[in-house]
Amino acid sequence: MYRNFILLLLVAFLFMACKEEKRFSNKDITMEAFSAMKTPSFAINSRIIRQHLQQIVKADTGKFVAEKRTRTYYREKNPFLWIDRHGIDDRADSLIAYLEHVQETGISTSFYKLDKMKKDLEKLRQLNLTDEDDINRVMARLEFNLTRAYMLYAVCQRYGYVNPTYTLNHCAVKDSNSTHVTYFHVFDVGMSYAGDGYYQSIINKVKHDSVGNLLQSIQPKGKLYSRLLNELKRQDLSATERQKIICNLERCRWQVKDSPEKHNKYVMVNIPAFRLYAHDGDSVLTMKVGCGKDNTRTPLLHSHIKRMDINPKWFVPKSIAKTIAGRSGYLRRNNMYVMDRKEGKLPPERSSYQRVMDGKQYIVQAGGPGNSLGRIIFRFDNNFSVYLHDTNSPWLFNSGRRAVSHGCVRVEKPYDLAVFLLKKKDEDLMERIKYSMTANLVENAEGQDDELIDQEKLISSVNVAPEVPVFLDYFTCYPSTSGTLNYYNDVYGYDRAINKEMRRLTE
């Protein structure tokens, strides 16, 4: 009986051992385990792995900076990142787990060569190797493809797949001939990009077994990004809607140095929506706007509104001034005069086309009713001389497509915006602003004011303190104040430019 008990115990032990072996079979196989095998396809040789790596590096033609960095890393014969005396461990599984979800963001897993890496991992873990596709060749492929995918994901998911500074500033042709093309500068947003320090840090994360922590930390966390991800899951999306969402997800990845989320009070203009949103905590003032025409586009920029000028003068741009110089009747009807660098202020009759073109003379429209800037302008530092301002053509807001200006943003409710910008809602100051915006400042034919002006109530400028952030942005898929996600026309073709760059990533 004792002998039978020992026999049963031995059978039970063997059964448990077989079950345990099945559960963890070939998991985290070490290189030493392969080296102990005599089969040629299992014989590991680091020198041969290096030789295969150099062949892979030579054949790779990826144009992303992360791909170039990967090639450089192995060309310089730096240490292996994923294969060592422990073989291929669960660091690779952590990366693959994230890559398996990349399609939820609109990016194809084939861009990351996910299936190839999974097949190679399976070959190692199932010992499915041959003399033609031996352990060294598979190890080299995995080492390179894992690093390439890891660098691409760690950089692109955090900083974006498209460089907007380059792409958007090369999509609006200004002039071209057989040898040279110039473009309009339309994107001037402060950006952060992956530098040497970031690349070194992500390499160190692999060495220190912190792959999962890094990949979790780089995921975009903005509300709009999350909203767009959920929208992308809809089964009834059209191809156009899907493309718009993917483009706007990409915009959310860009590492802008300043963003609305960092502020409690700010002004945001969404150009495709032709709409302005002025946020102050939970309060939102919204209004229609007019933006630049296709050949005089409103630039994308971030700045701070620092001053409001009431009844501003308009210094007519040369592109317009050259068409009206010498037309004294037109200039007089529109309350314009000439400023000559040599002779000072001159009447309209003294305007000269040649002196305007030579930069010796420019045309000015006096402030007041009929001024093209309207009765108030909101100034902020930028490299384009564009601003938010009132308009003398309020009927433009009745149109759906309001690409009408020479680059500035015309606002529907200028007085409301002025009040919004004030830190303290001083009743006296607000009344003076309103009075100055409605007083008739135009002189009649006899040189007298049409009405008696209270000079003490007139105000010409108000500083905005503290300065209020302003964002001129471009989202073709953006929520309304009620929360509805709206789709807008790609008025300047920026979605088209981004889609062209991302086409091989999404197919």
pLDDT of residue 29: 54
- Tokens representing 39 are 């089969």
- Tokens representing 174 are 């200004």
Residue 475 has pLDDT above 90, yes or no: yes
Helix (H, G, I), strand (E, B) or coil at 421: helix
pLDDT of residue 24: 41
- Residues 6 or more apart from 393 whose CB is under 8 A from it? 404, 410
Count of CA atoms in the C-beta half-sphere (13 A) of 479: 11
- Tokens representing 218 are 């780089």
pLDDT of residue 4: 47
Using one digit for the tens of pLDDT, what is the confidence trace for 182-239?
999 999 999 999 999 999 999 999 988 889 999 999 999 889 999 999 999 999 999 9
Tell me the pLDDT of the chain averaged across its residues: 89
More confident residue, 88 or 167: 167
Instruction: State how far the Cα of 296 lies from the Cα of 478, in Å rounded to an integer.
Output: 24
* pLDDT (mean) for 404-422: 97
CA dihedral 122, 126, 132, 134 (to 10 degrees): 90
Closest CA to 92 of 124, 116, 117, 66: 117
Using one digit for the tens of pLDDT, what is the confidence trace for 252-304?
999 999 999 999 999 999 999 999 999 999 999 999 999 999 999 999 999 99
Type of residue numbered 417: L
pLDDT of residue 19: 44
Closest CA to 389 of 421, 412, 364, 366: 412
- Residues 6 or more apart from 146 whose CB is under 8 A from it? 81, 82, 92, 95, 117
Instruction: State how far the Cα of 292 lies from the Cα of 97, in Å rounded to an integer.
Output: 45
pLDDT of residue 311: 95
Per-residue HEC secondary structure of 205-250 comes to: HHHCCCHHHHHHHCCCCCHHHHHHHHHHCCCCCCHHHHHHHHHHHH
137 class by beta-carbon count within 10 Å (0-12 exposed, 13-18 middle, 19+ buried)? buried
Type of residue numbered 479: P
Count of CA atoms in the C-beta half-sphere (13 A) of 332: 11
Residue 25 has pLDDT above 90, yes or no: no
pLDDT of residue 446: 43
Do residues 169 and 186 lie in contact, with contact meaning Cβ atoms separated by under 8 Å? Answer: yes
Residue 27 has pLDDT above 90, yes or no: no
The H or E element spanning position 486 is strand 485-487
Lowest mean pLDDT across 26-35, 88-97, 354-363, 407-416: 26-35
* Cβ atoms within 10 Å, residue 330: 14
* pLDDT (mean) for 494-501: 95
Q: Distances from the Cα of 414 to the Cαs of 423, 438, 445, 493, in angstroms?
A: 16, 12, 30, 29
pLDDT of residue 166: 95
Using one digit for the tens of pLDDT, what is the confidence trace for 304-362?
999 999 999 999 988 889 999 989 999 999 999 999 999 999 999 999 999 999 999 99
pLDDT of residue 28: 55
Cα–chain-centroid distance for residue 214?
A: 22
Lowest mean pLDDT across 72-81, 322-331, 405-414, 451-460: 451-460
Instruction: State how far the Cα of 388 lies from the Cα of 407, in Å rounded to an integer.
Output: 10
pLDDT of residue 31: 54
Do residues 146 and 82 lie in contact, with contact meaning Cβ atoms separated by under 8 Å? Answer: yes
Using one digit for the tens of pLDDT, what is the confidence trace for 122-146?
988 888 888 788 889 999 999 999 9
In the chain, DSSP finds a helix count (H) and a strand count (E) of: 18, 18
* pLDDT (mean) for 236-254: 95
Residue 393 has pLDDT above 70, yes or no: yes
Domain limits, the chain = 25-159, 316-366
